[in-house]
Amino acid sequence: MNESGIALYRTMYMIRSAEKSIQAHYGEDEMKTPMHMSMGEEAIAAGVCHALKPEDQILGSYRSHGIYVAKTQETDRFFAEMYGKASGTSKGKAGSMHLVAPEAGLVCTSAIVGSSIPVALGFAFSNKRFKNGRMTAVFFGDGAIDEGVFWESLNFACLQKLPILFICEDNGFAVHSPTHARHGYDSIADIARKFNCNVLQSDSSDAEQICKLTKDAIKLIRDNERPAFLYLKYYRYLEHVGIGEDFKAGYRSKDEFEQWLKVDPVRLQREKVLRTMGEDRISVLEKGIDEQIESSRMRAKNAAFPDAHTAFEDVCI
């Protein structure tokens, strides 16, 4: 196992541990923000972010805990935002759906489906114009494909040959509506292929494979001077919004979930790392991360709320 395999496991474990901590404490009703959890999706967040350089930019949706942790590798400001505290990523005013970390390249995340996509185009356009070599990656769900802005943006990016990576994370549902009930075509990837862009796809939950695919996509973007579209499948473990399971809602089955659990991304990578690291060293690594998460959470819980007079600062009114 090389260093990058261990680094990928470290990142995925940190994402999972942070969300488990949210699950354990959300019921105390001190984190007031709605939660769109990333469990099941860790290989995409970690795989893509590890393939990017620190100066590269990413943008995402309201389901962005995974990409935040993967790109920043930090959890203090993350938990402070969950608790609505002044030390949070947006000074406690935005919550889980609007995480930002511009210093680490996380430009923005947004609650409005598809809305980060045209913003990403602006960054890619600027990068191309200033020839600074930075890559822009924008993450969105299959529901964003239903928005006209996705197709307009894909067209503009292809026309202008922008250095941009579109990442569609298809979990098969927009809230409870399955893809086949919303799309009058069979394959998003096939349609994207008709545009002048590089299309790559995978249904793997192996973070090393996703990382390799992303590196291939970036090379194609640079070599062909064309955007790339990564179409990736994963299974959302928890309800659309909230911290629990929703198999009783009747729109999907627990059997399906159990099939995906067999290829759980975090466990898959752990098994690979175990072969070279051994159980004792992995346990030390995991314990260190769990302690970091608990210390971030406690610091956030005990931190100060923003002053009332700051309510109208940093906002457009």
Report the nearest approach of ligand TPP to the CB of residue 120 (Å): 15
Closest to ligand TPP by CB, 1 vs 241, is 241
Q: Is 58 in the site for ligand TPP (CB under 6 A)?
A: no
Which residue in the set 76, 142, 206, 208 belongs to the binding site for ligand TPP (CB under 6 A)?
142
Angle of helix 148-159 versus helix 116-130 axis, rounded to 10: 10
Report the nearest approach of ligand TPP to the CB of residue 230 (Å): 15
Which residue in the set 113, 167, 207, 230 belongs to the binding site for ligand TPP (CB under 6 A)?
113
Q: Is 143 in the site for ligand TPP (CB under 6 A)?
A: yes
Hey, how many other C-beta atoms are within 10 angstroms of the C-beta on 174?
Answer: 18
Closest to ligand TPP by CB, 68 vs 173, is 173
Report the nearest approach of ligand TPP to the CB of residue 86 (Å): 27
Hey, how many other C-beta atoms are within 10 angstroms of the C-beta on 109?
Answer: 26
Q: Is 249 in the site for ligand TPP (CB under 6 A)?
A: no
Stretch that binds ligand TPP, among 137-145, 214-222, 270-278, 304-312 (CB under 6 A): 137-145
Closest to ligand TPP by CB, 179 vs 292, is 179
Report the nearest approach of ligand TPP to the CB of residue 245 (Å): 16
Report the nearest approach of ligand TPP to the CB of residue 112 (Å): 5
DSSP string, 250-284: SSS-HHHHHHHHTT-HHHHHHHHHHHHHHHHHHHH
Stretch that binds ligand TPP, among 94-102, 141-149, 214-222, 268-276 (CB under 6 A): 141-149
Distance CA 313, CA 317 (A): 9
The answer to whether 41 and 48 are in contact (CB under 8 A) is: no
Residues 6+ apart with CB under 8 A from 300: 76, 79, 80, 82, 83, 85, 87, 88
Distance CA 10, CA 15 (A): 9
Distance CA 148, CA 260 (A): 31
The SS3 assignment for 111 reads coil
Q: Is 111 in the site for ligand TPP (CB under 6 A)?
A: yes
The answer to whether 145 and 191 are in contact (CB under 8 A) is: no
Q: Is 171 in the site for ligand TPP (CB under 6 A)?
A: yes
Which residue in the set 174, 197, 221, 293 belongs to the binding site for ligand TPP (CB under 6 A)?
174
End-to-end CA gap in the chain? 52
Stretch that binds ligand TPP, among 2-10, 153-161, 167-175, 309-317 (CB under 6 A): 167-175
Report the nearest approach of ligand TPP to the CB of residue 278 (Å): 36
Closest to ligand TPP by CB, 5 vs 60, is 60
Secondary element (H or E) of residue 231: strand 228-233
DSSP 87: T
Distance CA 171, CA 144 (A): 12
Report the nearest approach of ligand TPP to the CB of residue 283 (Å): 32
218-247: contacts with ligand TPP (CB under 6 A): 240
Which residues contribute to the site for ligand TPP (CB under 6 A)?
63, 111-113, 141-144, 171, 173-175, 240
